[in-house]
Structure 1
Amino acid sequence: MTDFAAAIDRLLNQVRHWEQPRWRGKADQTYALVQRLADLVADVESRPHRPVPREHDMILPDQLRVMADDLLAASAPEPVLAEAASAVEILRKNL
């Protein structure tokens, strides 16, 4: 759990202050992570996957925080958290 929580905090610290021009070319990758986290939460809770609404790019940090908090609150098993942490770190390196 700690690795995922730390990874998401690092990512949010990296992107939360970005203005609209900085999101160009990066928003779709970030949204894909939001959707991946939502899918992981759905899997842990045995619910069907549903699309996360694609809001304005400036909302992406908030969506990341909500999906991360949901995954932690769902008491996801360590392998799921490790998968999520890996996805977060891959995105951080690609931004």
Structure 2
Amino acid sequence: MSAAELDRAVELLVRQVGHWQQPRWSAVAEGGNVSRADLVHKLVQEIANLAADAEGEPRREVPRLGNDLVLPDQLRVVAADLVAAGPPNTVTARAAAAVAATRSVL
């Protein structure tokens, strides 16, 4: 899967959630027991881990900022970091699949 396809998957998720206010972020994700914000932050961390691996750098914890409204921006940043690392298509495919899976339960 190409970087463009990953970018498209991220953009679709950001369009879905970018206008949400705090109550929607705090709601429990479909079929789960965690908030939507927790689920998206988990996705952000997963993609950040893929980027760190692709760069040959140690994995670092992505901070959970005090305002869930920044989660779409955090997602964009870590996805851009992953693309900039130039990983194999299997890695971008894995990231895009994670984005799509998260999007489906929000």
TM bucket (normalised to shorter chain) is: over 0.9
Letter in 1 for 2:9: A
1:29 to 32, 39, 45: 39
Shift of the alpha carbon at 1:31?
0.1
Higher-Rg structure is 2
Unaligned 5+ residue runs, structure 2?
27-34
Match of 2:5 in 1: 3
1:64 corresponds in structure 2 to 75
CA distance in 2, matches of 1:62, 1:5: 13
Query: Would you say how many aligned residue pairs link Structure 1 and Structure 2?
Result: 95
- Give 3-state SS (helix, strand or coil) of 2:14's partner: helix
- Using the alignment, how far apart are the partners of 2:78 and 2:55 within structure 1? 13
Query: Where do residues 1-95 of structure 1 align in structure 2 (5 Å cutoff)?
Result: 1-24=3-26, 25-55=35-65, 56-95=67-106
What TM-score do the two structures reach when normalised by structure 2?
0.87
Greater relative contact order (Cα < 8 A, sep 6+): 1
CA–CA separation in structure 1 for the residues paired with 2:47 and 2:6: 11
Which 4+ stretches in 1 moved above 6 angstroms? Answer: none
Q: Percent identity?
A: 49
Equivalent AA in structure 2 for residue 61 of structure 1: P
